[in-house]
Amino acid sequence: MIEFSNYGNARDLNCTDAELDIFGQLCTLSGAEDLRLERKSDSYVTASIGPTDVARFKFTDRAKWISLPYVQPGKIKLGSADISSLSDLIREAVEMARKING
């Protein structure tokens, strides 16, 4: 069987209401007006500034996590952590994305 990858192609956003809510909280907590919501992977949605990921997250019945790849290793389970408790890390992730993008 042959499978085609979506590398470089825009994907449908196709996110849950909870994921839209998480993105809204990320925007509010970070104050970043240039934060974009996009799907770079079939497995999660991404909040990014330019080409740099600020946060990757998934919130479904089976998976509830967020990752801040440039400031915190691994995934943070959202059942045990409220997004607002991550506000310092979120702001740091936005600053790092801006620094990477120059």
58-93 confidence digits (pLDDT tens): 999 999 999 999 999 999 999 866 899 999 999 999
Q: What is the pLDDT of residue 79?
A: 81
pLDDT at 57 over 70: yes
Which residue intervals of 1-102 are DSSP H helices?
A: 17-30, 87-101
Three-state DSSP state, 52:
strand
pLDDT at 4 over 70: no
Q: What is the pLDDT of residue 11?
A: 58
CA 39 – CA 80 distance, rounded (Å): 25
12-43 confidence digits (pLDDT tens): 788 999 999 999 999 999 999 999 999 999 89
pTM attached to this predicted model: 0.85
CB 49 within 8 A of CB 95: no
The strand ranges marked E within the chain are: 36-38, 45-49, 52-59, 64-67, 76-77
